[in-house]
Structures are given as structure tokens and as C-alpha cells.
Amino acid sequence: MRSKVYRGLLYPCLFLFWGVNMSLREIRDCFERSPVIAAIPNTALQNALDSQAEILFILKISLLEVKETIKKAHLSGKKIFIHIDLADGIGKDKTGVEYLARLGADGIISTRGQLIRYANDFGLITVQRFFALDSKGVDSIEDMLESTKPDLIEIMPGIASKVIERFVSKGIPVIAGGLIETKQEVTEALKNGAEAISTGKAELWYI
């Protein structure tokens, strides 16, 4: 069982790593080597498997495909995260999360706090996705993090540099996602403190 403590969002977070969090360290090592995540529908899987991206975010997949997709990703040496909110046929509940854990998914992506909590309990690496649409919404992110405690957060759009800097300054690992279409935008997001960026632009997977 892992322990993860957020000592108030006005101060750097303290992460204590046990057991499954060795996998979280591995994920962050992947970011060091290859900071661009291939964020794709399952139909683009082969292109992502052939790329230099070490981590895959599967944004669209069906119940019938997920087992084989996880197997192919691991055989290619990739880490794979399933966006459970967008997965057809997989329950958006505790059973759905457990199903992905049993199939060997490395983690899940979700906007839903309860699914993040379930995934934490099942030992999956968790990425909670947030949309930084206005200042009020950004403030609400801090409140939610106190209860969900994801391993990583994904801020969308990824070009929201001030928002990235805000959470990085508080010790929260950030992935920048959405509207990142150029190498310059990748570099800018990383410069602002993001640990990685997620994109469907295949030419950026080779950075």
C-alpha cells in the first residue's frame, strides 16, 4: 500500500513512495528520457508503438480491444494509460477500474475524482485531467486535489503556462495536454515546469 500526503497546497507536496510507487518513479524516469506522451485513439496504436514515445495515453478504446492493446503496448516496451471516461463498454465505477487493473494497465486517466480514488486503491498510477478554463475553475482544482490525491495531473490546454507554473510551484507533477502542436510549444511547456506533454501530433513523438 502506498502513502501519499499533500501537506496543504500552499506548500510543496510531500510524496512518500512505497510499493507501487516504484512504478511512479519509473513513469517519471520515462518523462526524463522521453517527455512527449502519445495521446491517441486506439486506431492509431501502431504508429505510437513504432514511435519513440515511451508512454501512451489511450483516449478512445472499447471493451473488446483493451486487453490486446495493453498486451501489445507492453510487448513494445511502452507504459499504457487508459482514459476510462472515454472507454466504450467499461464501467465508470469501481468494477471498471478493477477490470483495467487486472488486465495490467499501468494507469488511468480521468476527470472524475471517485475513479481516481478507486484507482489509487487498486495500485494504478493515476492522472487526473483538469480543464483550466477560468480562474474560478483553477481554484477549484486545488480543492479537489486535497481529496483525490492523484499521482499526476494533466492541465488542459497545455499552453496555459501560468496554470502550469502555479501547480508546479506547489510540488504537484504536471502533464500539459491539448493545443500543443509545435516543438516550440513543447519546449515552452517543459520550460514552465511540466514533466511531460501529451499530444496526438505524431511528429512530436520523436522529440
At 131, phi and psi to the nearest 5? -105, 115
Residues 127-173 have pLDDT tens digits of 999 999 888 889 899 899 999 999 999 999 998 899 999 999 999 99
Nearest Cα to Cα of residue 181 among 30, 36, 60: 36
Is 16-206 in CATH node 3.90.1200.10?
Answer: no
C-alpha to C-alpha distance for 70 and 82, rounded to whole angstroms = 9
Residue-range domain boundaries for the chain: 16-206
Buried b / exposed e over 85-96, threshold 16 CB at 10 Å, is ebbeebeeeeeb
At 182, phi and psi to the nearest 5? -135, 160
| pTM strictly above 0.75 | yes
Cis peptide leading into residue 157 (ω within 30°): yes
Q: How far is CA 24 from CA 13, 88, 91, in A?
A: 15, 27, 25
Count of all residues that appear for the chain in the document: 207
Q: Under 8 Å CB-to-CB from 107, ≥6 apart: which residues?
A: 27, 79, 80, 81, 82, 119, 124, 125, 126, 127, 151
C-alpha to C-alpha distance for 71 and 184, rounded to whole angstroms = 34
Instruction: Name residue, grid cell 507536496.
Output: 13
Whole-number pLDDT of residue 98: 98
Q: Tell me the pLDDT of the chain (207 aa) as tens digits.
A: 444 544 344 323 333 333 344 588 999 999 999 999 999 999 999 999 999 999 999 999 999 999 999 999 999 999 999 999 999 999 999 999 999 999 999 999 999 999 999 999 999 999 999 999 888 889 899 899 999 999 999 999 998 899 999 999 999 999 999 999 999 999 999 999 999 999 999 999 998
Nearest Cα to Cα of residue 26 among 70, 80, 69, 72: 80
